A and B are shown apart, each in its own frame.
Chain A
Amino acid sequence: MLNIVFYFQVHQPYRLKHFNVLDINKSSSLFDDNANKAIMQKVANKCYLPTNRLLLDIIKKFDGKFKIAYSITGTAIEQFKLYSPEVLESFKELVATGHVELIGETYYHSLSFLYDHNEFLDQVQMHKDLLKSEFNYVPETFRNTELIYQDRLSDIVYEIEGFKTILTEGVDRILDWRSPLYAYKNYSKSLNLLLKYYKLSDDIAFRFSNREWPEFPLTVDKFVNWIDHLTLSEKENHNQFLNLFMDYETFGEHQWAETGIFDFMKHLPQEVLKMKHLGFITPKETPDFANYQQESISFPEPVSWADEERDLSAWLENDMQKNAIETLYELLPRIKQHGDENLLEQARKLTTSDHFYYMCTKYFQDGDVHKYFSPYDSPDQAYIYYINALADLEEKLN
């Protein structure tokens, strides 16, 4: 038996204004409310609303046989409320079906795990509180920002009440000869570990509309056929899990409606469910299906799901990124000590990983992706505005 585990990442950052030195220490906001509103409403119309509607229909149609999981960041939920409340309502409707799992993460989609454990714990708790208040939901699965993971993270997450499973990337250099189709344990065997099957995930998320790709166009038949082939590797009736993890904005935003992505998603579940040995479950259910001794797997160095390297280089490679993030995490405790809630909220919005992504200078294949997602002309501009914003927060202390 092979179960498909769909997890979708739902995230929107607070984009910074083009924040000049002369704007520092004035009362104005750091964030570009107009851009944030426009982008949220655009993505709501192109992606969130139509995809939620589609998936709700499928879930209802198959009554428990089709399931999915979401990780929705705090900054996304805040901006739904501000700019597109109907999106939040439609997510609530999905959760109410009982066939949707919600995943825990840092409220601000931050890299705090790498820099400030207390801040990391605070942000995870804030996100748990938010899921409780908005969805009356208590998460059992955790994913760190951009699927960043290493052994150390599992130790911290294990200490947080309620989490039993962690999601991360199925990185080849870690897996070596092992298959991402099985559920593993973390290095200390305390948590369940699910690894993204990046090839098939990225076929949908990145390559679906790519005409240069030899497999273009990707049809449901072809995809289900590939999945079916995976089950040939099944041994001793050990249940397998195909972890398809991707940004939710794949649907309608990264892959436009014209590419046929919605049709693909509409027909995929019914074709999968025609096969007796294929099904859908959510991450928290996987331990119940793991009918074997789960092997532990160690991640000594951090991995992520970004770019070819699948490491931290998309956010923390060049000097601008390093200087920016180090300055932020030096400032954060001082802001906490100062006690101004408003300042702290703004600083936390600056912990969102996207700010560092915009400063990325790896302009090869992956750079294109970075460029597409950046609201600024260049990494240097992104850095200038960010550093100015940090100077602004610091000046407002005292």
Chain B
Amino acid sequence: MSVAEVSVENLCKTFHVGKQTIQALNNVSFSLKPGQVTGLIGPDGAGKTTLMRLLCGLLTIDSGRITVSGLDGATQAADIQASVSYMPQRFGLYEDLTVQENLDLYADLKGLAPGQRQTRYEELMKLTGLAPFTGRLAGKLSGGMKQKLGLACALVVTPKVLILDEPTVGVDPISRRELWHIVYQQVEQAGMTVLLSTAYLDEAERCAEVILLHEGKMLQQATPAIFSERVQGRSWLVSSPHLSNRQLQLKLSQLPGIIDALIVQGGVRVVTETADISFIQPSFDAATSLQTKAITPSFEDSFIDRLKQHNTDTGKTAITAHIAAEHPSDEVVIKVDQLKRTFGDFIAVNKVSFNVNKGEIFGLLGANGAGKSTTFRMLCGLLPISSGHCSVAGVDLRHAANQARQNIGYMAQKFSLYGQLTVMQNLRFYASCYGLFKKQQQARIQWAIDTFELEPYRNTNTADMPLGYKQRMSFAVALMHQPDILFLDEPTSGIDPLARREFWARTNALAESGVTVLVTTHFMEEANYCDHMVIMANGTVLAKGTPEQMKQLAQQENQPEPSMEDAFIYLIEQQMNKQSARQKQVSTP
């Protein structure tokens, strides 16, 4: 019987924000088994970050007990801080220091003897693949590389306990795989105890054990398999040759008895309340031939099932936009032609071309640093173009009259509303910016509050809201003026699966009503929502087409049915092989 490396008993924590009291953690108890990875899962605002900060001695304990490596959390906080390794959400890197300098700093701070450094650095560089970039400033690294560096800094000495707060947020699939590889390698080699929180539920299945947290309470601690058992026999794949996946999903998600409907490759993934799916057929036309197939439940299915029981409101609010559906349409709304942008001698976007038709969801996919955001910023007129052309609804937004921007809605990658203003103040302000005043303004604000369920946060500073609500707020602001064209830059990064579902339900409905949506994402499964997409890497377009076409590109003997993620990785790797081949050619005389 091994002694728990980390144990928590009856932990409570409340915060006071203004006059409000928020119960962040309510009587949480668990213990972590040493030498394994435990996942901390829960929707936004569940108290994951608070729990991790408490474990690290960064917050004071209201009541209850924390023991880490035999040290008491209330009285020996400094000793705990000296012994655990912690990677906060914002990874704690100094952006104006190089990779090597960041490593040196943490090596010094954590007391790694100079003699041991060389070997440890080499090991870490090999693991993270950062060796070629040691001289680069951390601020100039892509998001994925930053995360890897953050992890390397946390691992510069081998801690007994490693605490990672959302280490994979905003990271592309390739980097995510690598991060997991590093974590597992450390667990196996050094017997480290790892607690990590994540919003990616497929990652939960990689954990030995999962703690499910919801609204400050611990719902369950078990292995992922046990979690999945509860939805055994209730997961299905539904498809129809007569309906688009989007239409199918829209319809299914509104049926009673269906807990979850999610567009995946080849159809809609459905979780039902009971182990029977036959009840759906009557809701469709007799002519619509529905094919249903039972599939193995995933952790995500069980997660949604669990949380929907706790949430009375299922958040199935669909949005209807004002534009009459003229779908499909061949009208080109966004035109990008040979677009190029350089920063100094660095080419961020290199001759990118694509067209987006009216009323479609167009995806811009790519790893971190592929140039998606730069393309976006140029399209929205926020960044000058080095060469090439782009136009939105027939005009170049950088030089067009300001009125032209009335047609677009923009949601930045980073939360970019006024954090020190309340929800209402922000909404009022942006409504005014879009020329909505008085009654019109009141109506739209009420719409935003109702649609995005912002009522409880009306008078909260937006900076103090949970991530998922911040994202809703940003989306509400982007939709405030009912634009015809939406630019959404990584809208689902870091938000929980529930919020992600809501987000896509809304976006789907908008597209159905004729709104053109341009979206970037690195959740590859979300590419299934797109009508068309491009995959970008290193500033260039690797492939263009429909999701099906993309998958076909990656079809091989050993991979007859590639997922979108497989396709993505395949394309990127191909590109890298090509590059290295070219480099070899150059270097061989």
A binds B: no
B residues adjacent to A (C-beta < 8 A): none
Residues of A within 8 A of B (CB): none
